[in-house]
Structure 1
Amino acid sequence: MGTGIVSILLHNLPWNGYWLHVISYIFFALNILLFAIFFTISLLRYTLYPEIWFAMIAHPAQSLFLGCFPMGFATIINMMIFACAQWGPWLVYLAWAFWWIDVLISFATAISMPFIVMHRHRPDLHTTTAALLLPIVPAVVAAATGGIVADALPSISHAYATLIVSYVLWGIGQALSACVMALYFHRLTIHSLPPREVIVSVFLPVGPLGQGGFGIQQLGKVALKVIPHTEMFHVAGVDPTRGAEFLYFVGIFFGIVMWGFALAWVCFALIILRTTRSFPFNMGWWGFTFPLGVWATCTSALWQNLGSEFFKYITMILSLVVLLLWILVTLRTIQRVITGEMFVAPCLDSLKEKQAEVEESKA
């Protein structure tokens, strides 16, 4: 997710050049490589050792990261459109096919994981973290990706169907995210700050706000292009062009509102980090990159839709900040991979503890 969003930001920088595009293609290739490697490893892991799958699903924290799979896949689909659409319609339709796969996985995680949390995990309020957003946000990401793919599709009917499905996904993801953010805000006010080990998770609410703000603007932009060529709004006697303009302006309005809400969360997160000061490095540090990255994409969309120099400069600053954070976290990750400290499977530890308890009870 972090590598993918860096490739997108570098490709779409306000002040860009050929060499920056080349760097974005390198990040794109790296993202595909990382995704392919970890997907293959995970597939082999759960195929050869199916008991680990059930242990992972039963784990209250590790299971939530299932949502990272469709979000990481979505960044590849986005760059296929941004960087490779000129290869021809076949590439666009390939990205469209991948998007439908991403939609199914995103919908499945957004519905199944919250139910599993409610039915099996049932965490106490003081142990609740913003990681609960991880299986839900993929629906918002898939909606935004749908807007990007629909904009490139040559067929109006295909673009229209993609647009409608994307609006549905956006509604599912944003509504559920709002529920979790309200719960998380309540947890912070009642039980103070999270433990230092998961303190970086305070940045996660920026993700659905930033991506949701970008997605609703992108969908409005596509609606302006697609809806006038359809039968939408005809039953109500409304001119499709005016209806499309309404959706476009609503998208910009919600984009501004959600950008502001994300700004508030960023301020909360920075103050919390400053208050905590020292906190250990772990894989949670990757939570710095994607939320801030999608907030930058929302800022970029506002710059283009409003023609505002303010948002143009903020887009550039946020993009460079995300790049620097990616470099920092990558170096620390490589360091811990070399030492072996990064390879920890919490679900296996829980499984071993349960097996030990069973053996003790038998004894």
Structure 2
Amino acid sequence: MQRAPNTQVIHIKHSQIGTGSLGLLLLGQAPPAAFDGTQPAHVAMVARDFGVIGGSLLWGAGLWWLVVAIALTLSYLRDGMTFNMGWWRLTFPIGVYASAIFTLDRLTQFTPLAAIGTVMAVMAVALVGFWLIVVTKTLNGMWLGSLFRAPCRLRA
């Protein structure tokens, strides 16, 4: 097994926080529609607001993780980080963050979120190029057999 740099662990957390943010935002939208016209309709509005608050808090925490992850990734790349299967972890968080910020913008109508969402959407589109690089490196590593050699096992 290859030793995973810390940046990959951060990308895992980053992805979970983004998914949690989007999940809370989407779950908060369900109760008002489900209880519309019933007695607990006012409680459903509170659930919606908790979804927006919780989703916003998680998104803000995720934004910090995004900054840390980018900084660490750039640092590891400068230090000569080689390709391994952990690079796949870098491909998932950006898309969920773009979805979460657009959902948050739609729910709050807070204009600056739309600008941030546009930047995240551009990053998500650029991610397609990165995904192609990762696919190419994975297939190349599989073909050459270098993907399945564990450097940490060679040192032992």
Shorter chain as denominator, the TM-score bin is 0.7 to 0.9
Consecutive unaligned residues in structure 1, runs of 5 or more: 1-60, 63-194, 231-238, 350-363
Aligned match of 1:303: 105
Q: How far apart in 2 are the matches of 1:245 and 1:340?
A: 56
Number of matched pairs: 146
Q: Deviations over 1:271-316 (max 9, x none)?
A: 2223332211000000101122222221221122223322441342
Give CA-to-partner distance per residue, 1:245-283, whole Å, 9 cap, x none: 111111111111111100101111122223332211000
What is the TM-score normalised by the length of structure 2? 0.79
The residue number in structure 2 matching 1:217 is 25
Secondary structure of the equivalent of 2:36?
helix
What's 1:39 paired with?
Answer: none
1:197 deviates by: 4.5
* Alignment partners' CA distance in 1, 2:108 and 2:120: 13
Taking structure 1 as reference, are residues 311 and 271 closer, same or farther at Cα in structure 2, changes over 3 Å only? closer
* Aligned partner of residue 205 in structure 1, secondary structure: helix
> 1:214 offset after TM fit, Å?
0.3
Deviations 1:142-199 (CA, angstroms, capped at 9, x unpaired): xxxxxxxxxxxxxxxxxxxxxxxxxxxxxxxxxxxxxxxxxxxxxxxxxxxxx66554
Paired letter, 1:314: V
Q: Structure 2 vs 1, CA of residues 200 and 241 (structure 1 numbering), >3 Å: closer, same or farther? A: same
Letter of the structure 2 residue corresponding to residue 221 of structure 1: Q
- Secondary structure of 2:31's match? helix
Larger radius of gyration: 1
Q: In structure 2, how many angstroms separate the alpha carbons of the residues matched to 1:196 and 1:342?
A: 14
Q: Using the alignment, how far apart are the partners of 1:253 and 1:284 within structure 2?
A: 32
In structure 2, how many angstroms separate the alpha carbons of the residues matched to 1:196 and 1:222? 39
Determine if contact 1:220/1:248 at 8 Å carries over to the other structure: yes
* One of 339, 346, 355 as aligned partner of 2:144: 339
Deviation at 1:338, TM superposition (A): 1.9
**Residues 188-229 of structure 1: CA deviation (Å, up to 9, x unaligned):** xxxxxxx66554332111112100000011011111211336
Aligned pair in 2 of structure 1 residues 198, 264: CA closer, same or farther (>3 Å)?
closer
Kindly report which structure 2 residues correspond to 1:145-224, keeping only aligned pairs within 5 A, or say none.
197=5, 199-224=7-32
Which deviates further from its counterpart, 312-321 or 278-287?
312-321
8 Å CA contact 2:94, 2:120 repeated in 1: no
Q: Is the 8 A contact 1:197 1:280 kept in 2?
A: no
What does 1:1-363 align with in structure 2 at a 5 Å threshold?
197=5, 199-228=7-36, 239-276=39-76, 277=78, 278-307=80-109, 308=111, 309-343=114-148
Equivalent residues of 1:289, 1:325 under 8 A apart: yes
RMSD, aligned CA: 2.6
Higher relative contact order (CA 8 A, sep 6+): 2
Q: What's the secondary structure of 2:8's corresponding residue?
A: helix
- Render the CA deviation track for 1:59-116: whole Å, top value 9, x for unaligned: xx89xxxxxxxxxxxxxxxxxxxxxxxxxxxxxxxxxxxxxxxxxxxxxxxxxxxxxx
Structure 2 partner of 1:7: none
Contact 2:21–2:100 (8 Å) recurs in 1: yes
Please give the secondary structure, in 1, of the residue aligned with 2:147.
coil
State whether residues 213 and 298 of structure 1, in contact with CA within 8 Å, keep that contact through their aligned partners in structure 2. yes
Secondary structure class of the residue paired with 2:35: helix
Identity of aligned residues (%): 25
Normalising by the residue count of structure 1, what TM-score does the alignment of the two structures yield? 0.37
Contact 1:206/1:295 (8 A) holds in 2:
no
Whether the 8 Å CA contact 1:201–1:284 is kept in 2: the answer is no
Q: Match of 2:51, as an amino acid? A: G
Give me the whole-angstrom Cα distance separating, in 2, the residues matched to 1:319 and 1:208: 17
